Amino acid sequence: MARSRTGFWLSVPVYAAVVALCVAPLLILLAYSFFQVSFVAVLKEPTLKNYVRIVGSDTYRWLILKAFGSGLMVAAITAVIGYPVAWFIAKRVVAAKSAFLTLLLVPLYTGDLVRIFAWRMLLGAEGVLNTFLMAFGAIREPIGALLFSSLATHIVLTYNYLPFMVLGLWLAFEALDDRLVEAAADLGAGAVSTFRRVTLPLTVPGLVAGSMMVFVMVVGDYLTPQLVGGASGITIISAINDLFGTAFDWPLGSAIAWTMLAILALAFAGAAIVINRSSLGKALAAGEA
Amino acid sequence: MNFQINRRGLLKTAAAGAAFGALQPFNRAFAATDLVWMTWENLAKDDYLAAFLKGGDVSLTKNFIGTDDEQFAKLRAGGASSVDLITPGLDKVEYYVASDLLQPIDFAKVPNAALLYDTFKKTDLGKKDGKTYGIPFYWGINPIVYRADLMDGEPDWSVFFEGDKYKGKLAMRDYALEGIMIAALYLGIPKDKMFDMDDKELAEVKKALLAQKKLLRTYWNSIGDLTNLFASGEVVCAFSWVPPYYDLSARGLKMGMAKPKAGVIGWCDTIAVPKGVEGEKLDKVFSLVNYLLGPEYGEKLAFGGPYAQGTSAALDKLPDEQKEKIFVKDLSIMDSFVWKKNPARYNDWVALWNEVKAS
Amino acid sequence: MIAADRAKDTSGQENRPLLQGIAVHKDYGGVHAVRGVDFRIAPNSYVTLLGPSGCGKTSLLRMIGGFEALSSGVLELDGQSLAGVPASKRPVNTVFQNYALFPHLSVQENVGFGLAYRRLSKGDMASRVEGALSQVQMTPMAKRRPRQLSGGQQQRVALARAIVNEPRLLLLDEPLSALDRRMRKDMQIELKDLQRRLGMTFLHVTHDQEEAFALSDEIIVMNNGRIEQQASPAEIYRRPASAYVADFIGGANLAPGTILGAVGEAAVIDTPLGRFECPAVAGLRDGDKAVLCIRPELLRLQAGEDGFEVVVTHTVFRGAEWLVEAKASGDITISLIVDDPEPPAVGSAVRLGFDPTRAWIVAASAGG
């Protein structure tokens, strides 16, 4: 008894920190989402008007959809690229493993802006790629759509967040026992079948972890679309930013933020239920994979 | 309960603000003559302020801001008690006054204010009930800047709305207020009606902005970024601030600056004193304000910026060439400026702007 | 040879091996794991590959399983070369060390894994899985996941997963090493039973000679990448082919000496312990360096002038008997078993004798 009570008191600071740093700000945001704003005064009369506005607004609905769409797309692309990379580092590199991982992380050390401007130099109308293609006669006019386009946004987002996908997958591959792959071959499975029945299911936790990291970061990244996305570089996050800053409409900004949180929570809950019902999910939940 | 947040109310309710406030008396007790100025980095260069600080009885802590909105948000969240002087835009002073964050300027302690240009003496902006809360402190215009080597002639606002000669080579600032003002100027909506546009006029503005979006390479967010876009040739013409014109001309590019006849957007920042600054400290703050409107500071700013001061204090010290640069050679030009003002339906403007960008 | 006597190919041909290795060599970038070995494994036999860790037995097993390529040499299964045949196409299955069960699949799904590559109806598949599980008494656990099973149970599932495919050859890689002693004994009996019942050929890698003796029709003793001897357990024990085998199997006392006269299957050897006439490996000649092997249980304490003298250095009580260690002349270490109530005192000199017809002479190996 005495021991468990000590344990309780020792854990109090942890709970307090979680509440103060995570829960409280979100709850304040939630409270604001039900208020209204009149010039610079916040009217603290609970109302659902902000949520009605979001549901009724083509702009906000489209921006939210676009954010989640981009998140899913970049998660998918980084998964396809990152999967073989992670496999290679985990299973084929022996001596230089830490060197490879460091190399992978180097772009992260350079900072967002440096990376974005480097991509501008590469993709711009007078950039490296266009100059190169024109010098070899592959194109006559520079391809403008390489930069300041949705394409550019997704290229840079993929580049930015690929390391997180690779790290997630790399951990999963490190945990994957090579003998399981041998066992599958031993039992008659060819390379494709081994991948489908053994490697893929056992690296799904890494894929899920990597995808969630990439997804959340892509949804939250407004700088990249703003700086390389061109005239269509607006994101729901920069819209929220505008509402909090320029428009001084904290309630509507809070309501959009909470709408996104709620959709995300529902999506994750739905995914959790689906995974729980599948046999794979049961294995994952039991901590076996 | 209809409850308007004022500073004290917020301090009571927001824990973070309360903690902030609780620390304050402690700070003040130990640094009685230290003034905290929340301002833009380019206004608080050491050599601009050297003449004022050499007396030694005042020290200055600079608290740099990134945007006017950020400054307002900081003060609204309870930061007012930690600063002694702020630098809001002339069009934004209204926000601070409505939020009960400022105290009126005591002109008896700011003799240089008598030298304010007429435009600023007459304007309603920055004032409430006959009292001035934000003194116009420095100002300028936001013109069209373009690559003269890559364009055929001097452009006006129409370059952003019609024709496709420069399609994909134009840029517009990502800022609802100015973006919509320019559309209104292009559409010929009179300056005095501009900030009270009705639904029909806003619909026209939206149509024009949608046409504009198709011509744009991008919206720009920082002036450094725009300078970069000009330099790399991604953008040949943009609604801009002045600095890229000087920076790139100095680097040998043939730049142009256009001030369309339909009207140019003028901007002006003020200095304002938060509520709660009092006693001896308030006197020191006003003496700083007086210095900022005076000839030493004005001269430094005219060459260093180059920007014009809100007063004519330094005018005699400037050669004509420099006066030209800061638009004070012929003062009648000020009448063609459209001073930024807070529109009544600003939230609708922001929503409209976002709709255009998201389309 | 026992295994050879029983060797009956499915086609009815006598003496045709199920698996044959000819000059099988494996080298990992200059490290020679397996050095050109030859061997034959008869159908329907239980063969163990016995040797200390690092002797090359696991490398050999992995080459047979198809997980490693041969550096040179040939492996033939049923007379067909296995060169270029991937693991997935070999009629060979493996029970891996630590079992390698698929953690994301149930026991049933693990066992049925390989059947997916056969043209079987769902019903056939289910009944074969059921059959394999009942062979290893794991039917009640069919729905569980590997993590929910004990080590012994996982072992059984691994066995079922392999035998359900009816391989021509079942490879077992140290399958019992992770089990406790008691469980190991039980599993040994079950493995042997299972092999007899199924009429399948088992090739079992182990470093435990007791395990090899308990299970095998034939033992292949490996050392340092080479096969020292392949023979029945009794043959290996009684007539080891080398001093190494004699020592590794049953810890024989080894006395180096010189052959004075070799006559047919016997020879006279001169050692620091004395001069003895004993059975010998074939091919020894007068003057050859050789080693006399005397099993500890052959040695007897004896009175009088016969035998040779040793000084007792250690005594270890083993319940039914004493294990006594002693030094003989020539600095030869001698172990013997004494079943008297009290052992000779440490430090005392005793005389030992043995029946020379049950000792054995081998050639001294080049390496010593």
For residue B299, give how far its alpha carbon lies from the nearest alpha carbon of chain A (Å).
Answer: 32
Across A182-218, b (16+ Cβ under 10 Å) vs e yields bbbbbbbbeeebbbebbbebbbbbbbbbbbbbbbebb
Across residues C50-60, what is the average pLDDT?
A: 92
pLDDT band, very low/low/confident/very high, at A2 (cuts 50, 70, 90): low
- CB within 8 Å of C9: residues ≥ 6 apart: C16, C18, C43, C78
Using a CB-CB cut-off of 8 Å, the residues of chain B touching A147 are 234
Domains of chain C: 2-238 (3.40.50.300), 244-363 (2.40.50.140)
The reported pLDDT for the residue numbered C221 is 95
Q: Do C67 and A182 touch (CB under 8 A)?
A: yes
Q: Do B233 and A229 touch (CB under 8 A)?
A: no
This complex has an ipTM of: 0.82
The reported pLDDT for the residue numbered B240 is 94
pLDDT band, very low/low/confident/very high, at C207 (cuts 50, 70, 90): very high
Q: Do B234 and A124 touch (CB under 8 A)?
A: yes
Q: Percent of chain B beyond pLDDT 90? A: 58
Separation CA C214–CA A203 (nearest Å): 41
The reported pLDDT for the residue numbered A139 is 85
Asked if C206 has any chain A CB less than 8 Å from its own CB, the reply is no
Asked if B221 has any chain A CB less than 8 Å from its own CB, the reply is yes
Q: Which residue of A has its CA nearest to C94?
A: A186
The reported pLDDT for the residue numbered B11 is 36
* pLDDT averaged over every residue in chain C: 90
Cis peptide before C296 (omega within 30 of 0): no
pLDDT at C85 over 80: yes
The reported pLDDT for the residue numbered B17 is 38
Q: Do A288 and C103 touch (CB under 8 A)?
A: yes
Separation CA B23–CA B12 (nearest Å): 14
pLDDT tens digits for range C265-312: 889 999 999 899 999 998 888 888 999 999 998 998 887 777 898 999
Q: Which residue of A has its CA nearest to B175?
A: A246
pLDDT band, very low/low/confident/very high, at C14 (cuts 50, 70, 90): low
pLDDT tens digits for range B148-193: 999 999 999 999 999 889 999 999 999 999 999 999 999 999 988 9
Widest Cα–Cα separation across chain B: 64
pLDDT band, very low/low/confident/very high, at A278 (cuts 50, 70, 90): low
The reported pLDDT for the residue numbered C361 is 93
DSSP state, residue C113: G
Q: Which residue of A has its CA nearest to B72?
A: A245
Using a CB-CB cut-off of 8 Å, the residues of chain A touching B98 are 39-41
Q: Do A63 and B69 touch (CB under 8 A)?
A: no
pLDDT at C3 over 80: no
pLDDT at A87 over 90: yes
pLDDT at A289 over 50: no
The reported pLDDT for the residue numbered A279 is 56
pLDDT tens digits for range B220-245: 988 888 999 999 889 999 999 998 99
pLDDT at C152 over 60: yes
Across residues B115-142, what is the average pLDDT?
A: 92
- CB within 8 Å of B77: residues ≥ 6 apart: B10, B14, B16, B17
- CB within 8 Å of B93: residues ≥ 6 apart: B102, B125, B126, B133, B134, B270, B272
DSSP state, residue B310: S
Using a CB-CB cut-off of 8 Å, the residues of chain B touching A66 are 358
Separation CA A28–CA C268 (nearest Å): 100
DSSP chain A: -HHHHHHHHHHHHHHHHHIIIIIHHHHHHHHHTT-EEETTEEE----SHHHHHHHH-HHHHHHHHHHHHHHHHHHHHHHHHHHHHHHHHHHT--TTHHHHHHHHHHHHHT-HHHHHHHHHHHHSTTSHHHHHHHHTTS-SS--GGGSSSHHHHHHHHHHHHHHHHHHHHHHHHHHS-HHHHHHHHHTT--HHHHIIIIIHHHHHHHHHHHHHHHHHHHHH--HHHHHHSGGG---HHHHHHHHHTTT--HHHHHHHHHHHHHHHHHHHHHHHHHHHHSHHHHHHHTT--
The reported pLDDT for the residue numbered B14 is 40
pLDDT at A8 over 60: yes
The reported pLDDT for the residue numbered C29 is 86
Using a CB-CB cut-off of 8 Å, the residues of chain A touching C157 are none
Which chain A residues touch B if contact means CB-CB below 8 Å?
24, 28, 37, 39-45, 57-59, 62-63, 66, 117, 120-121, 124-127, 144, 147-148, 226-227, 229-234, 239, 242-249
| Chains sharing 3 or more CB pairs under 8 A with chain A | B, C
pLDDT band, very low/low/confident/very high, at B24 (cuts 50, 70, 90): very low
Q: Do A287 and C114 touch (CB under 8 A)?
A: no
pLDDT band, very low/low/confident/very high, at A193 (cuts 50, 70, 90): very high
Domains of chain B: 7-140+267-328 (3.40.190.10), 144-258+341-358 (3.40.190.10)
Q: Do A283 and C104 touch (CB under 8 A)?
A: yes
The reported pLDDT for the residue numbered A284 is 54
The reported pLDDT for the residue numbered B222 is 87
pLDDT at C4 over 50: no
What's the CA dihedral at B260, B263, B264, B265 to 10 degrees? Answer: -150
Q: Do B219 and A231 touch (CB under 8 A)?
A: yes
For residue B175, give how far its alpha carbon lies from the nearest alpha carbon of chain A (Å).
Answer: 9
Beta strand B264-274 with C322-328 is: unpaired
Using a CB-CB cut-off of 8 Å, the residues of chain A touching B99 are 40-41
The reported pLDDT for the residue numbered C251 is 85
Across residues B322-327, what is the average pLDDT?
A: 88
Q: Do A289 and C105 touch (CB under 8 A)?
A: no
pLDDT tens digits for range C325-339: 999 988 999 999 998
Using a CB-CB cut-off of 8 Å, the residues of chain A touching B65 are none
Q: Which residue of B has its CA nearest to A122?
A: B232
Beta strand C349-353 with C308-317 is: antiparallel
Q: Do A202 and C92 touch (CB under 8 A)?
A: no
Two tokens at A154? 């997704």
pLDDT at B49 over 70: yes
Two tokens at C68? 């490693």
Among A179, A188, A201, the residue with its CB nearest the CB of C104 is: A201
Using a CB-CB cut-off of 8 Å, the residues of chain A touching C67 are 182, 185-186
Q: Percent of chain A beyond pLDDT 90? A: 46
Q: Percent of chain C beyond pLDDT 70? A: 95
Q: Percent of chain A beyond pLDDT 70? A: 93
pLDDT tens digits for range C213-222: 999 999 999 9
The reported pLDDT for the residue numbered A281 is 55
Using a CB-CB cut-off of 8 Å, the residues of chain A touching C93 are 186-187
More confident residue, A39 or B49: B49
Chains A and C touch (3+ CB pairs under 8 A): yes
Using a CB-CB cut-off of 8 Å, the residues of chain B touching A62 are 358
Two tokens at A256? 């959009």
The reported pLDDT for the residue numbered A3 is 60
The reported pLDDT for the residue numbered A141 is 82
Domains of chain A: 58-285 (1.10.3720.10)
- CA distances to B11, B17, B274, C8 from B37, rounded to whole Å, are 21, 19, 11, 100
pLDDT tens digits for range B66-104: 888 889 888 888 777 889 999 999 999 999 999 999 999
